[in-house]
A and B are shown apart, each in its own frame.
Chain A
Amino acid sequence: MTDLIHLTADALAQKLASKEVSAVEATQAYLDRIGAVDGAINAFLHVNTDEALLVAAEVDKARTDGDTLHPLAGVPIAVKDLIVTKGQPTTAGSKILEGWQSPYDATVVRKLRAAKMPILGKTNLDEFAMGSSTEHSAYGPTRNPWDLDRIPGGSGGGSAAAVAAFEAPLALGTDTGGSIRQPGAVTGTVGVKPTYGGVSRYGAIAMASSLDQIGPVSRTVLDSALLHEVIGGHDPHDSTSLTDPVGALVEAARMGQVDGMRIGVIKELQGEGYQAGVLTRFHESLELLRSAGAEIVEVSCPNFRYALGAYYLIMPSEASSNLAKYDGVRFGLRVVPDGAPTIERVMGATRAAGFGHEVKRRIILGTYALSAGYYDAYYGSAQKVRTLIQRDFAAAFEQADVLISPTAPTTAFKLGEKLDDPLAMYLNDVATIPANMAGVPGLSLPGGLADEDGLPVGIQLLAPARQDARLYRVGAVLESMLEETWGGPLLAQAPAIPGIAGGK
């Protein structure tokens, strides 16, 4: 059974199609794994045992009956608990939504159901996706499978850790400033932020609506492409959804060549602040791509240095507005103070009790940036910086087909290390934020282990808007070359999870 959970989603799909393995067997193997390791990892906030097995049984019956099935039918998946699901709780990692159940499914969840992919459960995250370590979850932190004393990244630490610990072959994440890619980097997994609007956001609980994007989390580049094709495409329920077709992403991942492609190294996303072991692995990846026939060029994006500051104005501004709906009136927590309080006092008490400190800080910061007298200086200026970042990308993509950088400046840090220093925490996203500001797609894949600490390093690829296929093309080639040097997938080098019978 342990062999089943180590298969890629693509390999599992093939074994399901050839009836070598049943969907119930595969789903049960993952549920068993969750039972064995999630006490240590805490990747799941809810495990959806009955429904997952029911869907798996339907797949097996349909297959026996000879029905036509989606290629991923029966391949289980975990869903970040920021994405609403009927029949399961959705908490957004917050006490304010404890016990709440959505009356509707997110569009991406509908698509998973249409493909008959059993949903294993809901994964942990920083409260309302605000954080880079999953330590801001109201339900306790998720732990990094590579070292349980370290963070799994955030906000989607639960989805990344679940996939890295073989608790799921695939997961969904959301990425506002790096919440899919940075957890991918620090857990040795793959994560993709699609082009803004390429995947419907309907049913993703909004943090910053002009930055948020749902995307795939997996163990291989091809697996992300397979999942991206399931969830992508136009959705009339999302007014920011692009009308473009999703594109031939799987085909791009299977293309297997980068000969003649121009790959731009972003000058501003390396050097000071980047861990030595991260840069060593990054330069090795550049050499591999060069040896595969790609042309490596250097590009400069001078305004990226303002991206973090502009992000920490735009994101809290939009979040403060989006989170106004948690007021104890229509859903979620209601706290009624003593006496005969007015609704205003109920709101104040409800939001004080229901939100954690990081969420409150961002709401206050956003309220400040949007205040009369400050709006132009803060929010208005940040939106102009956004234009400058887009221009930097446009100029860089004149010189290169794809851009490349480390995904995060460091490997996974220790739990608690940056909890009292918000600025240090925010710096984790310095390389991932520009993509969200400009709406361009980005992919993180494992680049090896840093020499100084033996922890995973992430390599980030960025492509022009609507050119997500290029990420899969380059990513898959780099992945296969790296795996050749490692003698197998990077996750095969992960240590056994302590306290687990039979190890990994």
Chain B
Amino acid sequence: MAEINRDDVAHLARLAHIDMNDDELDRMAEELAVIVDAIKTVSEVAGDDVPATSHPIPLSNVFRDDVVGETLSNEEALLGAPDNADGRFKVPAILDGE
């Protein structure tokens, strides 16, 4: 089982969109190394013959009737938005560049 190091944490933080300074990366790498070490035995417990459980009480084909239910109005949907314009969420630039 692979160890987790500071470079891994920096990469994961980028993937998860969380800015981290050097101190945070140091602390996080140290803590996660301990945690990963403690939980790595999990990968050694079950063999190939054991099926995975993704859901404790599986239900299948859960559908509702195909009728319009309660929905939020445009105004309600935008109520908590940090910024909006013309009835839509407004965000900063998607792409970099002048």
Contacts and interface: CB of A to CB of B under 8 A. Distances in A.
SS class, residues of chain B in contact with chain A: loop
B1 to A, nearest CB: 6
A196 B31 contact: no
- Chain B residues touching A, range: 35 or more
Interface in A319-351: 320, 324, 327-334, 336, 340-344, 346-349, 351
B42 A334 contact: no
Contacts, number: 177
Given A103-B80, A336-B92, A423-B34, A364 B13 contact: yes
A103 B30 CA distance: 40
Interface in B41-98: 41-46, 50-57, 59, 62, 64, 72, 76-77, 79-83, 89, 91-96
Contact of A381 (B38, B46, B64): B46
Given A210-B55, A364-B16, A388-B50, A377 B82 contact: no
Contacts of B35: 312, 361, 365, 422-423
A197 to B, nearest CB: 5
Contacts of A368: 4, 8, 12, 32, 36
Given A374-B2, A384-B50, A423-B35, A364 B42 contact: no
Nearest to B62: A239
A367 interface: yes
A130 B54 CA distance: 21
A465 B89 CA distance: 43
A108 interface: no
A384 B57 CA distance: 15
B22 interface: no
A426 B46 CA distance: 22
Contacts of A103: 72, 76-77, 79-80
A386 interface: yes
Nearest to B15: A367
- Chain A residues touching B, range: 35 or more
Contact of A363 (B16, B52, B56): B16
B75 to A, nearest CB: 9
A385 B94 contact: no
A331 B93 contact: no
Given A306-B42, A313-B42, 14 more contacts: A100-B80, A197-B57, A211-B56, A240-B57, A344-B17, A355-B18, A360-B28, A364-B18, A364-B32, A367-B12, A387-B52, A388-B46, A422-B35, A436-B56
15 contacts: A210-B54, A242-B57, A303-B45, A309-B40, A327-B17, A341-B93, A343-B92, A346-B92, A352-B20, A360-B20, A364-B18, A368-B4, A383-B54, A384-B45, A388-B45
Interface of A: 100-101, 103-104, 195-197, 210-211, 236, 239-240, 242, 303, 306, 308-310, 312-313, 320, 324, 327-334, 336, 340-344, 346-349, 351-352, 355, 357, 360-361, 363-365, 367-368, 371, 374, 377-378, 380-388, 390, 422-423, 436-440, 465
